[in-house]
Homo-oligomer: A and B are copies of this chain.
Amino acid sequence: MSINPTKPTYAPGCEETCVHPQAVVQARATLPDDACVIQATHFLKLLGDPTRLKILSALSSTELCVCDLSAVVGLSESAVSHQLRLLRAGRLVAFRRAGRVVYYRLQDEHVTRLLQSALEHARE
C-alpha cells in the first residue's frame, strides 16, 4: 500500500511500506541480481520467437546450412541470417564454415533441454 497512489513510499531503511513489508523484504532479498535477470530474459527472449524456435528445433537433430534453414522455416535466407546472427550473439548456436556453405548447430545441451521443456509445456 502506498500513501501516494502512484508511487510506493519508502521507509528510512530503503524498505517499503506496504501490505506485507516482511514478505517484501524477503522477496527482495532472494530476488536474483539485475545482471542475472537481464541475462536470463535475454536468453528467453531469443527462444520466444516462432522463427528462432523453429530454427533451433530444426538444429536439435542435425546441423544445417542457412539455405536449408530458410527452406525449413519458409522464410528468406536474409531473414534467417538475421535471426542466426542474434542466436550466435546469444551463444545459442555455433557454426563452421565449409567452403561457401556455413553449417549451424546448437551450442550446448542447455538449449536443447529448455527447448524441450517449453515445447512439452505447450502441448499440455
- Number of copies of this protein chain within its complex: 2
Taking A48-B45, A57-B32 as contacts, is the C-beta distance between A18 and B67 under 8 angstroms? yes
Q: Are B23 and A67 in contact (CB under 8 A)?
A: no
A35 to B39 alpha-carbon distance, docked (Å): 28
Nearest B residue to A62 via CB reads: B23
| A44 in the interface (beta carbon within 8 A) | yes
Question: A residues bordering B, Cβ < 8 Å?
Answer: 1-2, 6-8, 16, 18-20, 23-24, 26-28, 30-32, 34, 36-50, 53-54, 57-58, 61-62, 64-65, 67-68, 70-72, 74, 76-78, 101, 110, 113-114, 117-119, 121-124
**Residue among A26, A58, A68, A123 with the highest chain B CB neighbour number at 10 A:** A68
